Amino acid sequence: MDLGSRQLLVDMLELFAGSLFVTSLYFSLGLVLGSLLHSASGGLAIGLFFLTYLLGVVARIKKELDFMRYLSFFDYALPMDVVRGGLERNYLVVGGLLILAFTLISYHRFGRKNFRI
């Protein structure tokens, strides 16, 4: 395997890892919402999904609002940013802590939840 093919493979693996990371963030957010809310929360989940996307767009347009990128999970692994510079350590740390916190809260809440089957 030549150097160009090897670099392409590394870039593709990093893109897929970033996608998995963002998906895990939204999955853990969905878990915590499902554990905290008593009724179906599909509309709220879709609203949060688009709200986080819009926060990232606004942060990219207006440089003074750059801190809002931390509220947009999409911006944690934008494909062009990943290809140019890799996954950013700040986003990995913040996202990892959020995944851990959301999962622990969900685990605690689901353990006490009374399911009506």
Contact predicate 74/52, CB 8 Å: yes
Give residue 39's pLDDT.
Answer: 72
Contact predicate 74/68, CB 8 Å: no
Residue 116 binned pLDDT confidence (cut-offs 50, 70, 90): low
What is d(CA 29, CA 90) in angstroms, rounded to the nearest whole number? 19
Give residue 61's pLDDT.
Answer: 92
Give residue 92's pLDDT.
Answer: 93
Which residues, including other chains, have CB under 8 Å from residue 109's CB and lie 6 or more apart? Answer: 32, 35, 36
What are 48-79's pLDDT values in tens digits?
Answer: 889 999 999 999 999 899 888 888 998 899 88
- Portion of the chain with pLDDT greater than 90, in percent: 39
